[in-house]
Structure 1
């Protein structure tokens, strides 16, 4: 069972998402919060696996709250569910470790699928936001050299750019799921990133691989 915490100051939205998730046998909403102030307390009490969090909330920005969550509870997955498709919000969220970024106009099934995906350790980014990465640049310190990645790691990284899951990468490269996880761990370390989505952003912005 995937335990979900809803963090949004709009009651009607929380009620809608709760009703949606109650239809799923493998997902349950364990709690709700209207602000970022008590999120850490809720995590301690309810032990959620995934948090759906808005950006624009009273008292504290959702991205700031998410950053605190990631520092204190790195195993908890966070999906930013927001109406904002601005570059600065998106990039900030990914840089702080968000596991997913969805817009509130996303289809209901996409939200459900995103919860399952991040619970499996994958990342989910709204398609319109992915396109923005190609024209956006972030200054990075200590950018790794391209030859730091092995040929196999570059193949795995290519698969990440294609949006493939661990299982799909394993099937495409004829390796085991465990081997994929090992490669991803090494890639994250070499690129100095924390997640699949951050690896994709870093690869595109620093032209680590030739883009198709």
Structure 2
């Protein structure tokens, strides 16, 4: 039996995933989380084989959750589920340690196949896409600047783009406000931006917001 945990801040998504999984005899949902903080508790305290993580939830950032899970439980599998297309986030999630990246537009059959695959130690990626993204990241000077952000800078970028304040971001990331401000300065420079409004505009331009 494959034991699955689900983290998504939308109840209807959690219910839909649970329904799909319940129709598969050798899989069952053992835990659900509504936020990144609840997901962290489940990662550390519950028995699960595959964790389905929404890419954007309140609380603990998904990149931090991936790092925590892979450090503490390297043999368990992580599937990131996103409303964003692969080209926006897949490479960053896979580099962080996720075993699979699917979009919410993918068919239920693909989700079940992915769960089964990664529970057995496999990886579910689009090899051609990953190869293309990596090559463009290395060789193309016109590649979108947000791909040059470090994971921490990217986390701060995402938080600012949805209107979070420096102090709130610092609390969520368990860092000082001064450190968050430093990340902000760095990412502004990389994006050739000057204000938080510029960050929001950039995120909208590249389809990085829901």
What does residue 52 of structure 1 align with? 52
C-alpha contact (below 8 Å) 2:35/2:60 kept by paired residues: yes
Listed as ranges, the matches of 1:80-119 within 5 Å are: 80-85=80-85, 87=87, 89-119=89-119
Residues 105 and 53 (structure 1), Cα distance of their counterparts in 2 relative to 1, 3 Å cut: same
Q: Secondary structure at the match of 1:37?
A: helix
Give, in angstroms, the shift of residue 89 of structure 1: 2.2
C-alpha contact (below 8 Å) 2:117/2:124 kept by paired residues: yes
Q: Which has the larger share of helix? A: 2
Give, in angstroms, the shift of residue 40 of structure 1: 3.1
Residues 35 and 18 (structure 1), Cα distance of their counterparts in 2 relative to 1, 3 Å cut: same
Q: Distance in 2 between matches of 1:108 and 1:10?
A: 18
Give, in angstroms, the shift of residue 110 of structure 1: 0.3
Q: Show structure 1 runs of 5+ residues with no match.
A: 140-212
Q: Give RMSD over aligned pairs.
A: 2.2
Give, in angstroms, the shift of residue 136 of structure 1: 2.8
Structure 1 stretch displaced more, 7-16 or 63-72: 63-72
Residues 106 and 126 (structure 1), Cα distance of their counterparts in 2 relative to 1, 3 Å cut: farther
Give, in angstroms, the shift of residue 44 of structure 1: 3.6
Q: Secondary structure at the match of 2:69?
A: helix
Residues 138 and 120 (structure 1), Cα distance of their counterparts in 2 relative to 1, 3 Å cut: farther
What is the TM-score with the length of structure 1 in the denominator? Answer: 0.60
- Answering whether residue 35 of structure 2 is matched by residue 35 of structure 1, we say yes
Structure 1 stretch displaced more, 67-76 or 24-33: 67-76
Q: Distance in 1 between matches of 2:132 and 2:83?
A: 16
Q: Distance in 1 between matches of 2:88 and 2:13?
A: 24
Q: Distance in 1 between matches of 2:78 and 2:5?
A: 9
C-alpha contact (below 8 Å) 1:85/1:129 kept by paired residues: no
Give, in angstroms, the shift of residue 64 of structure 1: 2.2
Q: Distance in 1 between matches of 2:17 and 2:126?
A: 18
